[in-house]
């Protein structure tokens, strides 16, 4: 399609080597042809060229001192992509893989994910190539304070409200908020993902994983099935994966895998949730320790993975929950999943499937929930945290979880009905992209050329 090729060519010329960003843009734009053919106003107002350009890109140096007294330097990013629907909202990622292309892809996806929640939030993302692994609490604190020395100028409770992501949990949010408060003298609801005792929300930690399961339940209910009794594979071992495992067990499914950067566990009898939480939330240990505590489980080190493959996706299963990171599931993995009987995929990570894998899932006609819809529970609950902060209240776990469940049901209904509207019932990729784009684009048109 000419407009897709032209847009990608322009992005490559003006922002070279941002591979993940090009992938995210192409995936969205390829879905929009039915909408653009139906309604000329989006071309008239040149929404495509406008929506792929961030409203603001902030890049800065982060200098900090390690425990040996040595000065270290990292790159910091905040990309405020689109505020047509509300203040910028999106996480901060700390990982050595972070560069401008990763942050732009995440911020672009965040626009449409946030739009699908139905809440008044725009899209943004931030981060740094700083690696928290192996760092002391004091080193992480010094990095976070230096990071905030620049970022504080650009955020606020009605402008940009960051949250956590890979490498950023309640500890890091606390250090960043403390420095923001020191610099501004304000106690604002400027971050979400805070600890419960100073403004955080119950169920926030669980929200992305729970939401991915709720979305899967909706997809299966549409074809008269449930998750009860189903064998499930889950990738990752962070918050998303842990609480996907927890919710799957609560609804009667059996999750049998988890993974981290060093390897994967396959436990055919079902993942022991208590052990997983102890290792990852308390000890910060490798999953190799899991196999030592459960000899019936098999640990495979990442160094022993087949070339270009993730063995999790070769485990026989009924449903899969990719919950680790981008592009972790490729076309060959998709073929293995389908061959082994997988008929439902709900993405807990951002863009975990390559385009080749997505094409296989859509061609097979399975229940496939793309990340911008299936993992929107995390940012939705962040907005619920903002609402609690603004009203100076704290809701119960049950109230937040109930609202989360309703939001995920609504997201499913929105993307499903949009796919049907354009003659592609069941294609939730098309439904999510068109529904999210249309809501943002209509707001951009209403607000003029800004």
- Measured at the alpha carbon of residue 275, what is the angle toward residues 273 and 279, in degrees to the nearest 5? 120
Q: Given 336, 365, 394, which residue is the final one in a domain? A: 365
Q: Which residue range forms the structural domain that includes residue 332?
A: 205-365
> So what's the pLDDT on residue 2?
67
For range 374-388, the mean pLDDT: 94
How far the first Cα of the chain sits from its last, in Å, is 27
End residue of a domain, out of 332, 365, 398: 365
User: How does residue 1 score in pLDDT terms, banded at 50, 70 and 90?
Assistant: low
Whether residue 441 is contained in a domain is answered as no
Q: Tens digit of pLDDT for each residue in 67-80?
A: 999 999 999 999 99
Structure letter (DSSP) for residue 120 = S
Alpha-carbon span 234 to 444, nearest angstrom: 38
Number of domains in the chain: 2
Cα→Cα distances 43→82, 133, 441, Å: 18, 46, 11
- pLDDT band at residue 4 using 50, 70 and 90 as cut-offs: confident
**pLDDT for residue 415 is more than 70:** yes
Question: Do 185 and 214 fall within a single domain?
Answer: no
Residue 279 lies in a domain: yes
Look up residue 422 and give its two tokens. 């354009």
Residue 194 forms part of a structural domain: no
> Cβ contacts of residue 394 below 8 Å, gap of 6+?
196, 201, 202, 388
Q: What is the pLDDT of residues 227-253, one digit of tens each?
A: 999 999 999 999 999 999 999 999 999
Residue 125's pLDDT band (boundaries 50, 70, 90)?
A: very high
**Cβ contacts of 363 within 8 Å, gap of 6 or more:** none
**pLDDT over 90 (residue 326):** yes
Q: Say if 182 falls within a structural domain.
A: yes
pLDDT value at position 308?
Answer: 86
Please say if 125 is a catalytic residue. Answer: yes
Read off the pLDDT of residues 430-442 as tens digits, 9 standing for 90 and up.
999 999 999 999 9
Whether the CB-CB separation of 169 and 91 falls below 8 Å is answered with no
| Domain-embedded: residue 381 | no
pLDDT more than 90, % of the chain: 97
> Which pLDDT score, from 0 to 100, does residue 211 have?
98
Mean pLDDT of the chain: 96
Query: pLDDT tens across 42-66, in order?
Result: 999 999 999 999 999 999 999 999 9
The verdict on 27 and 166 lying in the same domain is: yes
- Indicate if 23 and 115 belong to the same structural domain: yes
| Annotated catalytic residue within 89, 104, 113, 125 | 125
Predicted local confidence at residue 142, as pLDDT? 98
What pLDDT does 359 receive? 97
Average pLDDT over residues 416-441: 98
pLDDT above 80 (res 312): yes
Band of pLDDT at residue 3, cut at 50, 70 and 90 = confident
In a domain, 251, yes or no: yes
CATH number at residue 121: 3.40.50.10860
Residue (of 71, 53, 70) closest to 62 by Cα position? 71
Residues 166, 211, single domain; the answer is: no
pLDDT at 274 over 80: yes
Whole-number pLDDT of residue 108: 98
Q: What is the pTM of this model?
A: 0.95
């Amino acid at each position: 399609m000419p407009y897709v090729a032209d847009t990608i060519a322009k992005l490559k010329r003006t922002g070279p080597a941002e591979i993940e960003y090009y992938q995210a843009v192409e995936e969205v734009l390829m879905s929009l042809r039915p909408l653009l053919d139906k309604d000329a106003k989006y071309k008239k107002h040149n929404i495509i060229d406008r929506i792929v350009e961030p409203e603001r890109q902030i890049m800065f140096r982060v200098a900090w001192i390690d425990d040996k007294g040595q000065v270290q330097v990292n790159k910091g990013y905040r990309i405020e992509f689109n505020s047509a629907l509300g203040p910028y909202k999106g996480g901060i990622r700390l990982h050595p893989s972070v560069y401008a292309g990763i942050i732009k892809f995440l911020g672009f996806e965040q626009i449409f994910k946030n739009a699908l929640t139905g809440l008044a939030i725009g899209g943004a993302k931030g981060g740094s190539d700083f690696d928290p692994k192996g760092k002391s609490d004091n080193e992480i604190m010094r990095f976070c304070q230096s990071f905030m020395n620049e970022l504080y100028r650009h955020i606020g409770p009605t402008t940009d409200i960051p949250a956590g992501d890979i490498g950023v949990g309640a500890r890091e949010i606390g250090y960043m908020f403390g420095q923001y408060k020191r610099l501004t003298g304000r106690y604002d609801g400027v971050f979400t993902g805070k600890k419960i005792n100073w403004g955080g929300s119950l169920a926030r930690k669980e929200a992305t994983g729970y939401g991915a399961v709720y979305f899967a339940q909706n997809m299966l209910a549409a074809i008269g099935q449930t998750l009860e009794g189903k064998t499930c594979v889950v990738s990752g071992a962070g918050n998303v994966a842990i609480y996907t495992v927890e919710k799957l067990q609560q609804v009667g499914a059996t999750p049998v895998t988890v993974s981290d950067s060093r390897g994967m566990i396959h436990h055919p009898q079902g993942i022991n949730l208590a052990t997983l939480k102890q290792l990852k939330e308390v000890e910060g240990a490798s999953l190799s320790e899991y196999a030592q505590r459960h000899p019936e489980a098999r640990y495979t080190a990442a160094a022993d993975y087949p070339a270009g493959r993730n063995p999790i996706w070769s485990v026989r299963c009924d449903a899969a929950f990719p919950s680790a990171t981008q592009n972790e599931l490729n076309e060959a993995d998709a073929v293995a999943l389908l061959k082994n009987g997988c008929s439902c995929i709900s993405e807990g990570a951002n863009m975990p499937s390559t385009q080749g894998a997505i094409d296989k899932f859509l061609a097979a006609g399975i229940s496939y929930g793309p990340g911008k819809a299936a993992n929107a529970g995390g940012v939705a609950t962040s907005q619920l945290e903002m609402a609690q902060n603004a009203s100076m209240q704290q809701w119960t776990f049950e109230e937040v979880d109930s609202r989360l469940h309703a939001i995920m049901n609504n997201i499913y209904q929105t993307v499903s009905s949009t796919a049907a509207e354009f003659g592609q019932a069941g294609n939730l990729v098309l439904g999510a992209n068109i529904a999210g784009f249309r809501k943002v684009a209509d707001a951009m048109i209403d607000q003029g050329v800004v």
